[in-house]
């Protein structure tokens, strides 16, 4: 009870009239400062003094955590002169980074071309097009690795035309999270965070956030969630042992890595929507499954699990087609 009371300040009611959304001269200045939401119902036997907070990254203007590294990589390109007038932004993506780059390109006046696996969700394709970007579709059976290879071929054929942020190898990717996501979590939990849990795709989120939190308190545990095998339905996540490993990903910096089954992650998405009022994507379901596994081993602690996006960009995928068949 004492621990619960000591943490009472974490929860606040609705925003007061004078504390509403800030105004900004550009949509890009709305990236970051996303909220934490305590998960109070989908806990499954977790001890009362273990608190679980979700970092809701769907509140970024592009709808996902990928707004953060996309902006940081573009800023670095502009700073170094690698991106300038006449250049086209090019990268490979499973969807969310592409949407972020398309949004940023539109805001700054740069054309954007994106290589995406042909089986990414219809909603992602539509959002990219709505921002005016051009999508080039790679072999769906090759997943994100196929998109990486196709993008490399395009760049090699016309290197002067393109600026490629290269999210898988660009240190500005984890730097974005070191500079923003980590400090936000530390501030929002008043330094009480004991565990940080995130899915791994490029690895930028968990690397950058983890480094910052470890610098503040080396005892903070950094936990990664990945698909349990190579053949999975967790769009946006990588099974590292069977994938092209991103240059920015360093597994030795993790305290724990957990394999999550696709069906388990999907079931968690359905529960989070119905029981917490939080509709998220399948990578978020996987991350929360991992968070609960960790939480059940604790008597007390503060876990922050990163929810990378909202679920509305997956409504046409097998995630929700499967749900429809069940009901």
- The catalytic site residues sit at 66, 283
274, two tokens? 């119905």
Return the closest-CA partner of residue 49 out of 183, 192, 186, 187. 192
Return the closest-CA partner of residue 238 out of 148, 302, 138. 148
CA-to-CA distance for 151 and 167, rounded, in angstroms? Answer: 12
Length of the chain: 327
Residue with structure tokens 């950058």?
208
Residue with structure tokens 């339905």?
233
Burial of 6 (0-12, 13-18, 19+ CB in 10 A): exposed
Burial of 168 (0-12, 13-18, 19+ CB in 10 A): buried
Return the closest-CA partner of residue 227 out of 268, 303, 146, 283. 283
CA-to-CA distance for 248 and 202, rounded, in angstroms? Answer: 7
CA-to-CA distance for 61 and 53, rounded, in angstroms? Answer: 21
Give the up-direction half-sphere exposure of residue 58: CA atoms within 13 A in the CB hemisphere: 17
Which runs of E-coded beta strand occur in the chain?
Answer: 36-38, 49-56, 88-92, 112-117, 134-138, 162-163, 195-199, 221-227, 256-260, 300-307
Cβ atoms of residues 128 and 66 within 8 Å:
no
């Amino acid at each position: 009870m004492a621990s619960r009371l000591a943490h009472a300040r974490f929860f606040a009611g609705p925003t007061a009239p004078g504390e509403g959304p800030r105004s900004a001269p550009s949509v890009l200045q709305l990236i970051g400062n996303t909220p934490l939401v305590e998960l109070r119902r989908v806990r499954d036997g977790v001890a009362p003094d273990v608190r679980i907070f979700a970092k809701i990254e769907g509140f970024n203007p592009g709808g996902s955590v990928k707004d953060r590294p996309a902006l940081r990589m573009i800023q670095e390109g502009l700073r170094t002169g690698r991106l300038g007038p006449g250049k086209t932004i090019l990268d490979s993506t499973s969807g969310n980074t592409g949407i972020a780059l398309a949004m940023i390109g539109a805001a700054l006046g740069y054309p954007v071309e994106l290589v995406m696996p042909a089986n990414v969700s219809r909603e992602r394709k539509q959002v990219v097009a709505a921002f005016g970007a051009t999508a080039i579709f790679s072999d769906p059976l090759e997943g994100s690795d196929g998109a990486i290879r196709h993008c490399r071929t395009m760049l090699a054929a016309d290197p002067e035309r393109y600026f490629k942020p290269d999210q898988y190898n660009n240190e500005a990717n984890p730097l974005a999270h070191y500079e923003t996501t980590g400090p936000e979590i530390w501030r929002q939990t008043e330094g009480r965070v004991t565990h940080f849990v995130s899915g791994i795709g490029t690895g930028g989120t968990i690397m950058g956030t983890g480094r910052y939190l470890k610098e503040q308190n080396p005892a903070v545990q950094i936990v990664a969630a990945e698909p349990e095998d190579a053949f999975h339905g967790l769009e946006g996540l990588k099974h590292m042992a069977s994938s092209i490993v991103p240059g920015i990903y360093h597994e030795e910096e993790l305290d724990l890595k957990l394999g999550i089954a696709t069906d388990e992650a999907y079931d968690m998405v359905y529960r989070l929507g119905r029981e917490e009022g939080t509709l998220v994507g399948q990578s978020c379901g996987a991350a929360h499954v991992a968070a609960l596994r960790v939480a059940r081993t604790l008597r007390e602690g503060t876990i922050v699990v990163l929810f990378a996006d909202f679920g509305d960009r997956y409504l046409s995928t097998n995630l929700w087609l499967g749900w429809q068949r069940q009901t």
